[in-house]
Structure 1
Amino acid sequence: MKIVIIDDDDFDVALTEKCIHSFFASNAQRTQSDWNSQATLHVQHYTLTRFTNGDDFLEHYDGTVDLIFLDIELPGTQGVDVARHIRLYDSNVTIVFTTKMAQYAAEGYDVDAIGYLIKPFSEDAFRVKMVKAFTLYENKATHSIPIRTDNGIRLLHTNDIEYIDVQRHEVTYHTTNEDITVWSSLKAVLQLLAVHEKEFIQVNRYTLVNLGYVRGIEADTILLPQARIPTSRGRRKAFMEALTRYTSRNSGL
């Protein structure tokens, strides 16, 4: 788990670091009955990086951070504006605002922060936010695939992917927020999606569809929220069977 603290106050940073170390130390002692096996593995591995201002962070940000503790009052670009810049190209990273001024905290919800901590905060207050952040992290790790972009490795949540186009060695992930094109292959994509095979199905030579986004079918065309995808004759039967199983499974039948 990659954690970043953006704060120019050494005392506040020391407090945040102490709470983070305490959280992981205590959870590492939990038994398998308290955490599932994947969470137990992840909870023992984390990295912690500190930036004293948001501008330096934005300059070096590669989209691979899992959790940010972001002070609202910073030198240079203020914390809420830093978060707005982050959200332009990363909708998944978890953000927790920290501030000494309670009246500024509400601004954080405009950028989908999971909450705020009023400094100096207690370990109990911190733990509430950390448990929520870790739960989101565990879910993301379980349901995400890593793709290599020009800026490094990026985790894409499979629930955000509507469909995937493969043309020669270019793969385009069409998500709810953006289209991401990377250098890859159909074989590599199928390997990445292997654990999610019940959600994605290949409907023609070049396209895989997330069954969760199918809105209807017209003749040989699959209707998605943002696209109309043709099915090939040889894959039509398998697609219909997969869609029926998916619909029954998710309707509780």
Structure 2
Amino acid sequence: MDRIRVCICEDDVTQLEYLQQETEGFFRQKGLTAAVETFESAEQLLFHYPAGLPFQCLLLDIGLGKMDGMDLARKIRAQDRELPIIFITGEKGYVFEGYKVGAARYLLKPYKPEDLAEALSSVLQIQEERSEEEYLGFYFQGEYIKLKRKDVLLAEVHGHYISIKTKGQEYTFKGSMKVLREEWPDSCFVLANRSMLVNLQNVERITRTECFLSDGSSIPISRGCYQNLNKGFVEWFM
């Protein structure tokens, strides 16, 4: 993992800017790029992402406006049981309620930079522990879908559309190879030809012209992609 998507929901603009700066700095020190999106209300966040949150960490202030952070967390948990949530509040009374909705950490204002760093470290540890079960996310027919990385066979681009293929299902939606390669880890997904990214976890064997997958199917390998694919395949199982 070399990139992490973080969401911050905080109605105090000064605090919001501080959290963004500190969060980006923390992950930069860890050698990661933090793609941070910020929102000043629960309603604003839900308006932008009504079908689910495509993030790996949420920093959430409890004392928001009409809809508070706890209500927002309950809505999120109805769709996503695994998103790490760091609650931020000035009141101790929310601690028990926060853990009922699966808080990863709880920051009590005023908190120190090292407190925030410790909370973010816990999220990083959670993500590292999930590395073998890492999820890939995308929007499909208005819903945010999460698939376990190991279940994906390949992704194929045709025109302005991407097809994600698993052993039992196929998802087709608008997208490009450029975006796909930015979002999906190079260590796991490698080009087999101009239009296909194959998941090394599901490659059984390769020849100079074909790549054989764990479901019994095979896909063509282009001459220009063979060397890099073969190298990735060997390194994956070393």
Q: TM-score range by the shorter chain?
A: 0.5 to 0.7
SS of the equivalent of 1:50 reads strand
Q: Is the contact made by 1:145 and 1:192 (CA closer than 8 Å) also made in structure 2?
A: no
**Count of aligned pairs between the two proteins:** 171
Q: Is 1:27 matched up with 2:30?
A: yes
- Spell out, residue by residue over 1:171-225, the C-alpha distance to the aligned partner (whole angstroms, 9 max, x if none): 7999xxxxx98449xxxxxx76641679x975x99xxxxxxxxxxxxxxxxxxxx
2:43 corresponds to: 55
Q: Is 1:74 matched up with 2:57?
A: no
SS of the equivalent of 1:135 reads helix
SS of the equivalent of 1:114 reads strand
- Spell out, residue by residue over 1:21-44, the C-alpha distance to the aligned partner (whole angstroms, 9 max, x if none): 33123323xxxxxxxxxxxxxx1x
Q: Is the contact made by 2:5 and 2:34 (CA closer than 8 Å) also made in structure 1?
A: yes
Q: Is the contact made by 1:71 and 1:98 (CA closer than 8 Å) also made in structure 2?
A: yes
Deviation at 1:51, TM superposition (A): 0.8
Give the structure with the larger strand fraction: 2
Q: Cα–Cα, structure 1 residues 181 and 121, in superposed 2: closer, same or farther, change >3 Å?
A: farther
From 103, 109, 112, give the equivalent of 2:93: 103
Q: Is 1:114 matched up with 2:117?
A: no
* Counterparts of 2:38 and 2:114, CA distance in 1: 22
- Spell out, residue by residue over 1:86-124, the C-alpha distance to the aligned partner (whole angstroms, 9 max, x if none): 111112221110001111122111111101101121111
* Counterparts of 1:98 and 1:181, CA distance in 2: 39
What TM-score, normalized by structure 1, do the two folds share? 0.56
**Structure 1 stretches lacking a partner, 5+ long:** 29-42, 162-168, 175-179, 185-190, 206-253
Identity level (%): 21
Q: Is the contact made by 2:53 and 2:144 (CA closer than 8 Å) also made in structure 1?
A: yes
1:3 corresponds to: 6
Deviation at 1:54, TM superposition (A): 0.6
From 147, 151, 162, give the equivalent of 1:156: 147
2:15 corresponds to: 12
2:192 corresponds to: none
Residue 134 of structure 1 aligns with an amino acid whose one-letter code is: L
SS of the equivalent of 1:73 reads coil
- Spell out, residue by residue over 1:66-99, the C-alpha distance to the aligned partner (whole angstroms, 9 max, x if none): 1110011110111111011111111222111000
Deviation at 1:147, TM superposition (A): 5.3
Give the structure with the larger helix fraction: 1
Deviation at 1:137, TM superposition (A): 2.6
Q: Cα–Cα, structure 1 residues 170 and 155, in superposed 2: closer, same or farther, change >3 Å?
A: closer
Deviation at 1:60, TM superposition (A): 1.6
Q: Cα–Cα, structure 1 residues 192 and 137, in superposed 2: closer, same or farther, change >3 Å?
A: farther
* Counterparts of 1:113 and 1:106, CA distance in 2: 10
* Counterparts of 1:170 and 1:22, CA distance in 2: 34
SS of the equivalent of 1:46 reads strand
**Structure 2 stretches lacking a partner, 5+ long:** 152-162, 174-196, 205-212, 218-238
Q: Cα–Cα, structure 1 residues 153 and 81, in superposed 2: closer, same or farther, change >3 Å?
A: closer
